[in-house]
Amino acid sequence: MKFTNGYWLTKEGVEAHYAASAHEAKREGESLVVYAPEKQIRSRGDTLGGVELTVRYSSPRKNVIRVRIAHFEGQNDTEPHFDIAEDKSVKSEIVITEAAEGKAGEAVFRSGDLAAHITLGGAWDVRFCAGEKTLSKNSSRSTGYMVSRREPGFRENPYTEFPLADNGPPPGVYIKEELSLGVGEYVYGLGERFGPYIKNGQSVDIWNADGGTASEQSYKNIPFYLTNKGYGVFVNETGKVQFELGSEKTSRVGFSAAGESLEYFFIYGPSPKEIIENYTALTGRPPVLEDDTFGLWLSTSFTTSYDEKTVMGFIDGMLERDIPLKVFHFDCFWMKGAHWTDFRWDEATFPDPAGMIKRIKAKGLKISVWINPYIAQRSGMFEEGKSKGYFLKKKDGSVHQTDLWQSGMAIVDFTNPEACKWYTEKLGPILDMGVDYIKTDFGERIPDDAVYFNGKDPEAMHNYYTFLYNKTVYEFLEQKKGKGKACLFARSATAGSQQFPVHWGGDCESTFEAMAETLRGGLSLTLSGFGYWSHDIGGFEGTPNPALFKRWLQFGLLSSQSRLHGSSSYRVPWSVDEESVEVCKTFARLKLSLLPYLKECAKEAHEKGIPIMRAMLLEFPGDPVCIYLDRQYMLGPEILVAPVFSADGVVEYYLPPGNWTHVIDKRTESGGKWLKETYDFMSLPLWKRA
C-alpha cells in the first residue's frame, strides 16, 4: 500500500508518524526492547505527547530475528495466528553500548550468524548484518505508524501540484516497515504469483482470490519473500499484508498491515536453500507422500458428461494403450448439481458407487474425489448446519449466504470444533467406500465481514480460512487412512499450508502463454516453502490444440505431481490425437523410472523444506544468469527441465557450468552457455548433471 505522494509528500488525508530515533533500549529476558519516538528527544519537554513505537527483537530460531513493531499495546487480540515452531533452546546475545565521546550508542541483538544493529540516540538506523556484511537496513522514514483519515470515496485533490490516480489507504491505522534493496538485489516468492517472476517493481496484496492464473490475483498468497542477497522476510500476519517491492520507493521493500502492531521475521541463509530451510522450520514442512501420488492422475474434467461407463472407458483406454495410470479423480459432478457439497453420489449417474469404486480399485488405481467448503441451500446438509450454527454468520446472527458458486450457499465455519467434526463425519462414508485422496477445491472467496465461532477479526481470517479447511480434511484423512497415506489436491493456501500437500495451480487457459505463466506461479510458490506442486495438463479453460497438449504433457509429467484435468473437454490423450498417446506413455513411464529419485527429493522436502521443483537459483545461487530464469527449472538437485513453449519446437535455454548428459538421447554437453534447439514431441531439453 502506498502512503506517499512521491518520495517527499504523504498522500492527502494521511498522517505519517515515523520512528525518528532509538531513544532507549533495554533487555527483557531474551528480548531487546527499543523505544522509538517520532521526534528526537533532546530535553524533558520532548517526551511530552507524540507517537512512540515499541520495537521488540527476539529470536524463535537460530539465524532468525523476530521484529515486533507496536503502537498501542492495550488492544484486544482479535486475530488468528500462524503456528510458529520455536526452538526454546536458542539463546540470544544482547549488547547495549551507551553513547560516549561524541559517538552514538548501539544496541546489538544477535542470533547465530545474524545480528540487528540499532543506533541509539541518533537518527533511526537499523542494520541486519551477517558478520561485517550488511544484508538490509531500515532508516529514515521507514518504520512508521500511519493514520488515514480519508473517508470512503476520497479522491486526491485534482488541483494539488501532484495529483495521483492511486486512491491510497482506506481510513484506519497501519504499521508500515521498509527494508532496503541493494544494487542487483532481486525479490522472489510471495506465493503462487503468475506475473513477473522477479517481483521488483510490483505492488502485491496478500489476499486470496479466485482470479484464475492470468491476473495479479492469486489463490495462494504467502507473506514471505527472499532475495538473492542471502536473506528472506516472513511477515507474521494472517490478514491482508500489502507489499511495495521497489515500487513506492525504488530502493526499498515496504510492507504494511492494518492495526496497532506488525510482526515480521528476518531470516538469514545465506544460500536460498538455507533461507527456505529456516523459513519452513518456522512454518512447517510437508510429509513424504505415497508412491502412487507421483504417478499420473486422470480426471473426469469439470463440466463434461460422465457416468461409470465413461469412467471405465477412460481407465480401460489408458490400460489398453499401456499408459501407466495411478489415480482416477472424480470432479464436482460426482455429486448432483446445485447440491454441492453434500457428499452424496448422484444416484441418477452413479447408481452403484460402492461397486464402481471396487471395480476401479481392482484395476490397481487409487481414487480421488472433489469437495469444497461450501454448502448449497439445496444440499441435504444445509438445514442441519444452519440449525446447529456450523456456518459463517452475518452480524445479525443469520447465515452468511451467496449465489456466487452454488445457489444460496453457506460457508462452513472451521473455527468451530463441532462444525469440523460434523463436516468430516459427513465425509467419512465416502472414505469408507474406498476413496483415497481428496481434492479440496476453493476456499478463497471468504467474506471479510463474517462472524466466526472463535470471534476473530474476519479480515484477518480471510486468508487463514484455507489453512483451517485443508488442515481439517488432511488430518481426518490421516485418521481414516493412517499416517503417510493422506493426500489432498488443494487450490487455496496461506503460510503453513505446505504441511497439507498437494497444491495445484488453478484455472489456467489452454495456451502456451498460460503454460508459461503456470510455471512462473509454480516457481514462486515453491520458493515460498511449498515442497510439492502440480497443474492442469493442457490447461483448464478451453481445449488444447495437439502441439500445446503434447508440450504440456512433457511439462506436467516432469512436475512433482501430474494430473490430466480440464473444464469442458476431456483430457484423455487419444481425444487430442494419436501422437499424444505416445507422448503421454513415454513420459509417464519416464516419470515412474524416476520414482526412487523423486522419493529422495520428497524426503529432502520433508526434512529440510527444499522443494522438488526448484528455481534455477536454488541449485546455482552463484551463477548470475540463473537469477533471472523463469522458463526452466531443476527437478530435484540433478535434472534440468526446459519446457517447450512453442508449436514449432524451438526452445532457448541456459545450461549452467558443468558436464551434462541428455536423459533421452544420451548426448553430452559442457555447460556455461545458452542453447537454442528444436525438439520433436518425443523429447525436450532434459539434462542430468554429473
Residue 164 has a pLDDT of 45
Average pLDDT of the segment spanning 562-568? 98
Alpha carbon distance, N-terminus to C-terminus of the chain:
47
Tens digit of pLDDT for each residue in 425-474?
999 999 999 999 999 999 999 999 999 999 999 999 999 999 999 999 99
Q: Which of 93-102, 341-350, 514-523, 557-566 is the least confident region?
A: 93-102
Known catalytic residue: 98? no
Q: Indicate the DSSP class of residue 290.
A: P
Distance CA 619, CA 252 (A): 27
Distance CA 111, CA 60 (A): 9
Known catalytic residue: 441? yes
Average pLDDT of the segment spanning 598-614? 98
Distance CA 6, CA 98 (A): 37
Quick one: which of 311, 333, 371 has its CA closest to 572? 311
Report the percent of the chain where pLDDT is more than 70.
Answer: 98
Q: 168 burial class (0-12, 13-18, 19+ CB within 10 angstroms)?
A: buried
| Phi, psi angles (nearest 5°) of residue 146 | -110, 130
User: Residue holding cell 515499541?
Assistant: 54
Residue 150 has a pLDDT of 74
Distance CA 158, CA 73 (A): 38
> Of 331, 444, 536, 619, which is the active-site residue?
444
Q: Does 184 score more than 90 pLDDT?
A: yes
Contact between 675 and 685 (Cβ < 8 Å)? yes
* Furthest-apart CA atoms within the chain: distance in Å: 88
Distance CA 564, CA 538 (A): 7
Distance CA 478, CA 135 (A): 42
Contact between 528 and 272 (Cβ < 8 Å)? no
pTM for this entry:
0.97
Contact between 16 and 144 (Cβ < 8 Å)? yes
SS3 551: helix
Q: Does 281 score more than 80 pLDDT?
A: yes
Residue 228 has a pLDDT of 98
Contact between 302 and 331 (Cβ < 8 Å)? yes
Cα Rg of the chain (Å, integer): 26
Q: For residue 283, say if its preceding peptide bond is cis, omega within 30 degrees of 0.
A: no
Q: Does 490 score more than 70 pLDDT?
A: yes
Tens digit of pLDDT for each residue in 212-225?
999 999 999 999 99
Question: Pairing between strand 296-299 and 562-564?
Answer: parallel
**How is residue 240 written as a grid cell?**
491482508
Report the percent of the chain where pLDDT is more than 90.
Answer: 94
> Of 38, 106, 441, 517, which is the active-site residue?
441
Average pLDDT of the segment spanning 154-161? 51
Tens digit of pLDDT for each residue in 19-75?
999 999 999 999 999 999 999 988 898 899 999 999 999 999 999 999 999 999 999
Known catalytic residue: 509? no
**How is residue 373 written as a grid cell?**
467448503
**How is residue 595 written as a grid cell?**
520414482
Sign, Cα dihedral of 431, 436, 442, 444: positive
SS3 245: strand
Kindly write down the DSSP assignment for every residue of 82-122, as one continuous string: ------TT---EEEEE--BTTB-EEEEEEETTEEEEEEESS
Distance CA 220, CA 74 (A): 32
Average pLDDT of the segment spanning 241-252? 98
Distance CA 558, CA 632 (A): 11
Tens digit of pLDDT for each residue in 72-120?
999 999 999 999 999 999 999 999 998 877 788 999 999 999 999 999 9
Sign, Cα dihedral of 488, 492, 498, 499: negative
Cα of 313 vs its chain's centroid, Å = 36
Across the beta sheet with 202-206, the strand order is: 14-18, 144-148, 172-180, 252-258, 241-245, 202-206
Quick one: which of 422, 341, 368 has its CA closest to 564? 368
Average pLDDT of the segment spanning 198-219? 97
Residue 155 has a pLDDT of 56
